[in-house]
Amino acid sequence: MPAMMRRSQFSLFDPSLDNLSFRADSDDGGMAGNTTPTESSAFYDGRTGCNSNLLSGPVTYEWLSQADEARLNSSAEGFHTLHHKPVLSREAMNGDKPSSRFSVINEFNFWRQKPELAEAVAAIKALTAVIRRSEATTMMGLEIELKKAAETLKMWDSTSISLSAGCDLFMRYVTRTSALEYEDISAGKSRLIERGEKFGEISLKARQTIANLGQEFVYDGSVILTHGYSRVALALLKLAASQGKRFKVLCTEGRPDNTGLEMAKELMNAKIPVTLILDAAVANMMGQVDMVLLGAEGVVESGGVINYIGTFQTALVARSMSKPVYVAAESYKFARLFPLDQMDMSPTPRVVDLAVPEQEGRIKIHTSGRDYTPPQYLTLLFTDLGILTPSAVSDELIQLYL
């Protein structure tokens, strides 16, 4: 349930949606403007997380954060109903194919439920389902439908990098495929569907590949520090343990989500000696650590990573004590972003649960959920494309978009 609340918080409080509900009464061509969010300024999209062309003027970050705080004060039930509202109203107003719009999100959520599937893979499977249901008669038509579906997915959760990276990857593949000539639309469609299905298997294999590559770096007697919960890092450690290597893991707690607890539980199930440490104890324990192993939410063009809050800190401490920092990330997390500083990403506020609940309403809490670690603090990235140095990442991205 907290996961549901985290999603698209800014679209919840998007004043444009109030405009939309207003316009529902007057059925004029004003809808057309709403269905093309891509025309909005990319800069404002990135910084404010909503579409500026629907508003009268640019929205400032302070305004949105105040609005967010005001919303946080309302009840949890209020979230739930509000959450579904924008989807319904948008879908009710769009005459063209409301069912396909709605089902993309449904499909995505359906695949998302499976714990082993990453977000990007769920997105690609949802897009594959769109292709299956599509009634387009040309490849161009199919492409346009897919583009719309991809935009919907991205707007659904504008803060998830791996989701948008996965969508971009699939769209790129579709545009490339449609350039090749097929005798008829059904052959093209079936090829796309087949590749989309294959992608699900590839992604599972990706974790295996990364685990194989990375477990070489774990040696007997090593102490590994992890931060947050990463399925890829977990697979790596499990594989190393199954190879008979003896090592110890230090897990940070990972507040405010307490993801470190889940990680520690999984490691214990795999019979790996694990110690849970406070986030604040990273520097304290770094002297004993031999290497730091992290997952990633997204890998950006500079070779840096965007990951759970606290990653940058860990990397900084590790760098200052000359400990290697390894990141395990699948290649579909490579995103075309280039953050220049910590504020340069769409914000993901988390619900911070302080021990003193009555103070919550009065004290300002900084609730950012993730941070950006620049490439100079990373030693190597383990990906299914091989082991990469941070400088090799932009090369890979360029190759994709050539």
Residues of the shown chain interacting with other proteins in the complex, contacts defined by CB under 8 A: 169-170, 173, 180-181, 195, 198-199, 202, 216-217, 219, 331-332, 334, 379-380, 384-392, 395-397, 399-400, 402
CB environment 84-93: b (16+ within 10 A), e (fewer): eebbeebbeb
d(CA 295, CA 328): 5
Q: Which is nearer to other proteins, 20 or 121 (CB)?
A: 121
Q: Which is nearer to other proteins, 64 or 149 (CB)?
A: 149
Least spacing, CB of residue 284 vs other proteins, in Å? 25
Least spacing, CB of residue 236 vs other proteins, in Å? 13
Residue 49 φ/ψ region, left for φ over 0, alpha for ψ in the -120 to 50 degree band, beta for the rest: left
d(CA 52, CA 243): 53
Least spacing, CB of residue 196 vs other proteins, in Å? 8
Q: Are strands 370-373 and 305-308 parallel, antiparallel or unpaired?
A: antiparallel
| Residue 367 CA: distances (Å) to CA of 3, 70, 157 | 15, 14, 18
Least spacing, CB of residue 344 vs other proteins, in Å? 23
Q: Which is nearer to other proteins, 254 or 390 (CB)?
A: 390
Q: Which is nearer to other proteins, 263 or 397 (CB)?
A: 397
Q: What is the DSSP string of 89-131?
A: HHHHH--S-HHHHHHHHHHHHHHHHSTTS-HHHHHHHHHHHHH
Least spacing, CB of residue 222 vs other proteins, in Å? 9
Q: Which is nearer to other proteins, 243 or 359 (CB)?
A: 243
Q: Count CB-CB contacts under 10 A for residue 382.
A: 26
What torsion do the CA atoms of 7, 344, 302, 350 make, to the nearest 10 degrees?
-30
Least spacing, CB of residue 399 vs other proteins, in Å? 5
Q: Which is nearer to other proteins, 91 or 143 (CB)?
A: 143
